[in-house]
Amino acid sequence: MSLPTAAAPTEVRLAHCLLDADGAVLSASRADDPFYAASTIKLHGLLAVLRAAEQGELDLDAELPATCTFTGADGEEFTLSGDHLDPTHPEPGAPIALRDLAARMIDRSSNEATDQLLELVGLDAVAAVVGELGLTATRVERLIGDAAALERGLTNETSAADLARTMHHLVAGPGLAADTRELALAALCAQTIPIIAAVLRDGVRWGSKSGWVDGYRHDVAYVEDPAGAGRRILAVMTAGLAEDEADARITALATELLPGLTA
């Protein structure tokens, strides 16, 4: 079943942003251009959940019944189905802890976990995080699969620069306690569909979040050589390319921009 999403792009675009360990820009091209975000918005959702937990508004150890049915922008329920369900996700009604939902949102890119957490924390909380980080191209305006929201022109967008800044904040930014940061890092390191990491040499530490729908394919990763020059954060966004070509462009950029870290 087709998941309501952005219209397919009509032009080929490629953007990237590379940061050093302190968050300074080392290389950028079209880095502020907005792209349909696909699953990369799950990073912003994760930050909102972690922020709410640290402020005592959520208990990450609390359990909720798993669900794949959510409330759309029109107030009506919609249900995720087909290829957009994770076959390993708990059955509806089975208990799942919030911390497990947060991890699955990132490492398995679970749409069920994402929508359940976004409903719980609220899109306003995600917008607050976007504002606090000073992200200029990021909008998280709807749940995944909400056709009513899409019909109203609501979307989820971000840029390579915003993705790189978001990853930098998750990995090294202020305001996250050690235990909540560890949850984020563990999920990023367990990413099941890495792109940039596919060309890293053995021994390089990494964590990432990819995202894709027809016509869009993105990845943002932190990479770190324990014996080398320190952390780098690379975000690459593509539009108008087939999956194989997009992956080839992303990995070619990673090889060019991360000398000594790729195989």
Nearest to 259 by CA among 63, 13, 18: 18
The predicted-structure confidence for 69-101, as pLDDT tens digits, reads as follows 999 999 999 999 887 889 999 999 999 999 999
Q: Going by C-beta distance under 8 Å and a sequence separation of 6 or more, which residues neighbour residue 217?
A: 38, 195, 210, 211, 238, 241, 243, 246, 247, 250
pLDDT value for 4: 62
Distance CA 96, CA 189 (A): 21
Distance CA 35, CA 41 (A): 11
pLDDT value for 1: 40
Ranges under pLDDT 70 in the chain: 1-4
pLDDT value for 208: 98
Question: 95 is written with which tokens?
Answer: 């208990």
pLDDT value for 84: 81
* pTM, 2 dp: 0.95
pLDDT value for 113: 98
pLDDT value for 3: 57
The predicted-structure confidence for 39-68, as pLDDT tens digits, reads as follows 999 999 999 999 999 999 999 999 999 999
